Amino acid sequence: MSVTQNTFIRLAATAIMAASFGATSAMAQDEGVASDPLGVLSTGEVLGEDMGDGSYIGNTHGDWELICVEIADEPDPCQMYQLLRDAEGNATAEVTLFPLPPGQEAAAGATILTPLETLLTAQLVMQIDDGQAKIYPFTFCAAIGCVARVGFTADEIDAFRRGAAATWTVVPVAAPDQQVDLTMSLIGFTAAFEELLAQLD
């Protein structure tokens, strides 16, 4: 299911690289100097955690990263993040999760991003370890993929805390009789969730 997505990413990266080197060569010819891409292209900065646009990777707890956004004069809000891979190891979906203030039906919210070739009518199915499966609808699709915005009850968050893994199941449009199971590790979930809960105080 992720072949199309991965191919698109590779093609996009190749196009960007070609455009960059092409522009560099043209610039060099106009200026009458030898074409030396490394002379004008940035080789990057070793910041490690900066993701651009004010976003950065905060603490890592087990298999969960905290993605944070810089906000002036306020604590930086963060969300838990995990990249989900299929059985062949292809990056297929992304999950971001965050606690919600008490007093609501949902104790936490999450956004799940899947490839555009997801069969929306099959919806998303999630199961924690060997527990009862639950189905969620997709909210919308955009150029980057299809999005489901879901809420988890306090009982479900407790199950995440106790569990080893949750499985998200999606169905490809091209093969509606097949399922793609994506494992969401729960290693480090409690520590990451507790850190975000402290931000709500």
| Tens-digit pLDDT profile for residues 116-140 | 999 999 999 999 999 999 999 999 9
Please give the share of the chain, as a percent, with pLDDT higher than 70.
Answer: 74
The pLDDT confidence band at residue 18, using thresholds 50, 70 and 90, is: very low
* Greater model confidence, 200 or 195: 195
Indicate the pLDDT class of residue 35, thresholds 50, 70 and 90: very low
190 Rama sector, left if φ>0, alpha if ψ -120 to 50, beta otherwise: alpha
Residue 72 pLDDT grade (very low, low, confident, very high; cuts 50, 70, 90): confident
Instruction: Count CB neighbours of 138 within 10 A.
Output: 20
Question: What average pLDDT does this structure show over 140-150?
Answer: 95
pLDDT at 164: 97
What is the dotted CATH code of the domain comprising 45-200? 2.60.40.1880
DSSP character for 194? H
pTM of the model: 0.72
* Residue 55 confidence (pLDDT): 86
Domain range list for the chain:
1-44, 45-200
Q: What is the mean pLDDT of residues 47-73?
A: 80
Q: Which of 118-122, 144-148, 196-200 has the lowest mean pLDDT?
A: 196-200
Least confident of 13-17, 46-50, 114-118: 13-17
CA–CA dist 67, 133 (Å, integer): 28
Nearest Cα to Cα of residue 99 among 186, 168, 157: 157
Nearest partner of 114 among 137, 132, 130, judged by Cα: 137
Mean pLDDT of the chain: 80
Place of tokens 């971001």: 96
Spatial distance between the Cα atoms of 111 and 74, rounded to a whole number of angstroms: 24
**Buried-exposed string 158-189: b where 16+ CB fall within 10 A, e elsewhere:** ebbeebeebebbbbbeeeeeeebebbbebebb
pLDDT at 43 over 70: no
Q: What whole-number distance in Å separates Cα of residue 84 and Cα of residue 2?
A: 11
